[in-house]
Structure 1
Amino acid sequence: MNDILDAVNAVTRSVRAKTIKAGDGRAIILERSYDAEVKDVWDALTSAERLARWFLPVEGDLRLGGSYQLQDNARGEVLECEPPHRFKLTWVYGEEATEKDVSEVEVSLHAEGDATRLVLEHAAVIPDEMWNQFGPGAAGVGWDTSLVALAWHLRGVDFDPKTWEATPEAKQGSTRAAEAWGEASIAAGEPADLVAKQVAGTTAFYTSG
């Protein structure tokens, strides 16, 4: 098995219902371990300089109550922050976003000896038509890419998502991640025919072009 498939398969995924401020929604949860201490992982997640080397450039005030803007991506506010173990923030796409479009991302870090277990939860109110077309992989595959990038960064390798996304390796990883989110949907009780449609839609979205 190659490195990208190993990295994708290192993640544990689950899906559950969750009520957030925007309303009754769904949450996707990703968990994986890193060979790095909690303080190092925390710094990689919260330092603007380091985020630009594996995730995206970010502007704003990365403190409790502060707001942030990811370059050409999401924006939001820091709702909760407990260094170096946990933070929670709002996650908003687009200038025309309404209250229903405000999702929430929570990350927690847990020491496992000299390693760190990361748990990422992204909860959102998702229209049924979008859920039926893509399922949890719509956001999940994107987060999978981020967790791979973080692993490389913690090993000293910088990562440019925009360059990497067009590579055959990225498409192979996205295909496997979409399948894995389908497996998480089945485990959450979704019918197999709907899950097959979700996996096909997510795979096409991340691998076309």
Structure 2
Amino acid sequence: MFDMLQELAEIHRSVARNKAAETVSVRVSRAYDAEPEDVWSALTEPERLLRWFYPITGDLRPGGSFQLEGNAGGEIRRCEPPVTLQVTFGGPESIVDVTLTETAGKTTVELTHTVPLSMAGSGAGALFVGPGWDGAMLGLGLYLRGVAVDDPIEMANSPEVVEFNRGSISRWTHSVEASGTATSDEIASGAAAASAQYTPGA
């Protein structure tokens, strides 16, 4: 269905710690061959979102709230189509910012997930969420290319995606190491937890 190595290479990853704010941020970005309006629609319209991510319900407007079926919910803090979206994700201190930029006929989606250091523990906390966001970037790309997926949740548990997740964990491990935001023991523990979560039975 997809070239795993190419899909992994298309995603850019970084981890940062803000010492003043005592937060840890995970950043993923990827460019898509699509217009910003189309990408924004796929990210925000319920009937399209469920075809590659999760079914969503709620009061989907600034100041409203949302719930992803079987996953996190939160509040919509900012929504400026087709450029930027900010929501809480699973708790009031867990913030996700999504920004779209158009360059040379492509749209780059940049997602930053920021949580308090007390929640992340260290930069190794990126291993708990980074592979999941990689999977979202993969799903969005397949959907925008017109790849039909009957059940995104079932696909996420397929052997092909589990193997993608294995590669994602490896890349996030390197990103955390490069950031200098975690000890080797913290990284090893985070990688083990990520493997248990994203590659069950592998």
Partner AA of 1:180 in structure 2: R
Contact in 2 for aligned 1:54/1:158 (Cα 8 Å): no
What is the correspondence of 1:129-144 to structure 2 with a 5 Å cutoff?
Answer: 131=121, 135-144=125-134
8 Å contact from structure 1 (residues 133, 197) kept in 2? no
Scaled by the length of structure 1, the TM-score of the pair is 0.86
Shift of the alpha carbon at 1:198? 2.4
Q: Which residue of 2 aligns with 1:207?
A: 199
Q: Is 2:184 the partner of 1:195?
A: no
CA 1:57 to 1:110, structure 2 compared with 1: closer, same or farther past 3 Å?
Answer: same
Aligned partners of 1:19, 1:104: CA distance in 2, in Å?
17
| Partner AA of 1:27 in structure 2 | S
Please identify, of 2-11 and 144-153, the stretch whose mean Cα deviation from structure 2 is larger: 2-11
Residue 145 (structure 2) aligns with: 155
Q: Please state how far the C-alpha of 1:200 moved relative to its aligned partner.
A: 2.8
Counterpart of 2:4 in structure 1: which amino acid? I
Question: Which whole-Å CA distance do the structure 1 matches of 2:100 and 2:145 have between them?
Answer: 18
Identical residues among aligned pairs (%) = 36
Once the two structures are superposed, the pairs formed by residues 25-104 of structure 1 within 5 Å of their partners are 25-92=23-90, 102-104=93-95
Mapped partners of 1:18, 1:154: distance in 2: 34
Tell me, yes or no, if the aligned pair for 1:10 and 1:32 is still in contact at 8 Å.
yes
> 1:158-177 maps to which residues of 2 (within 5 A)?
158-159=148-149, 160-177=151-168
Instruction: Flag structure 2 segments of 5+ consecutive residues without an equivalent.
Output: none
Counterpart CA distance in 2 for 1:106 and 1:133 is 18
Give unmatched runs, 5+ long, in structure 1: 94-98
Comparing 79-88 and 195-204, the one that deviates more: 195-204
Is residue 4–residue 173 contact of structure 1 (8 Å, CA) maintained in 2? yes
Shift of 1:82: 1.3
**Offset at 1:165?**
2.6
- 2:10 aligns with 10
2:77 and 2:190 mapped to 1: Cα distance? Answer: 31
What's the TM-score once normalised by structure 2's chain length?
A: 0.88
What is the one-letter code of the residue matched to 2:97? Answer: E
One-letter code aligned to 1:60: G
**How large is the Cα RMSD of the aligned pairs?**
2.3
Displacement after TM superposition at 1:18 (Å): 4.1
Paired letter, 2:68: L
Aligned equivalents of 1:173, 1:146: Cα separation in 2: 12
Deviation >6 Å, runs of 4+: none
Question: SS at 1:72's partner residue?
Answer: coil
Kept after mapping to 2: 8 A contact 1:38/1:116: yes
Shift of 1:203: 1.7
